[in-house]
Chain A
Amino acid sequence: AQSVTQPDIHITVSEGASLELRCNYSYGATPYLFWYVQSPGQGLQLLLKYFSGDTLVQGIKGFEAEFKRSQSSFNLRKPSVHWSDAAEYFCAVAAPILTGGGNKLTFGTGTQLKVEL
């Protein structure tokens, strides 16, 4: 079964500073990988996803993530954080089962990002 670990529960960065949120996954092969963001009182929104191909993926809101098979990691990065980025970020993994088949996203425990002005 797949699993995902987000080792940082809380992270605080200054506005304008760079950001890296860590994610490590466990799966026998290359899984589907995702980053979602949850703002207070809101549902989750997809930032980016990786299925195959180029290991550096670009997402919305200026975020990017890099898949590193050797490290079983899929870290999320942003070069310059804005105060509006304060939220909780979830890494998720899914087995690559295709259309209509039973499948699920397994989420990490989340990283709460605080941005200092």
Chain B
Amino acid sequence: DSGVTQTPKHLITATGQRVTLRCSPRSGDLSVYWYQQSLDQGLQFLIQYYNGEERAKGNILERFSAQQFPDLHSELNLSSLELGDSALYFCASSVAGVTGELFFGEGSRLTVL
């Protein structure tokens, strides 16, 4: 158990819909990272938050957005879903950036039909 909690574990929805994925980082970790894992793209960095502020942005689509709340949990919002958005979405947390260890949750598997 990494201490990072992601919900839901599985989600099936239709094209055009909107979903929210939730991540609770390990206690005390200020940084939250979101990654997308798919067969064709591999592990792609989406976005990083540190203590509520966006700090780094990767290959995140405009249809996707994220935020980190004062209690440090984070949400990834995916809208106008397309078939290609089907993937495993991971959240990871660390005490202070990548110099330390990133602890990964078990992921949220999104299937868009």
Which residues of A are at the interface with B, using a C-beta cutoff of 8 A?
Answer: 32, 36, 41-46, 49, 51, 90, 94, 96-110
Contact of A46 (CB < 8 Å), options: B30, B45, B48, B101: B101
- With A43-B2, A107-B43, A108-B42 given, can you name 10 additional A-B contacts, CB distance below 8 Å? A43-B90, A43-B105, A43-B106, A46-B101, A99-B96, A100-B31, A102-B57, A105-B102, A107-B35, A110-B42
Q: Within the complex, what minimum Cβ distance (angstroms) separates B37 from chain A?
A: 9
B33 partner residues in chain A, CB cutoff 8 A: 104-105
Which residues of B are at the interface with A, using a C-beta cutoff of 8 A?
Answer: 2, 4, 30-31, 33, 35, 42-43, 45, 48, 50-51, 55-58, 90, 92, 96-99, 101-102, 104-107
Taking each of A43, A44, A108, which has the highest tally of chain B beta carbons within 10 Å of its own beta carbon?
A: A43
Interchain CB contact under 8 A, A109 and B45: no
Taking each of A36, A42, A104, which has the highest tally of chain B beta carbons within 10 Å of its own beta carbon?
A: A104
If A100-B97, A107-B43 touch, whether A44 touches B90 (CB-CB below 8 Å) is yes
Interchain CB contact under 8 A, B106 and A103: no
Interchain CB contact under 8 A, B50 and A100: yes
B102 partner residues in chain A, CB cutoff 8 A: 44, 46, 105
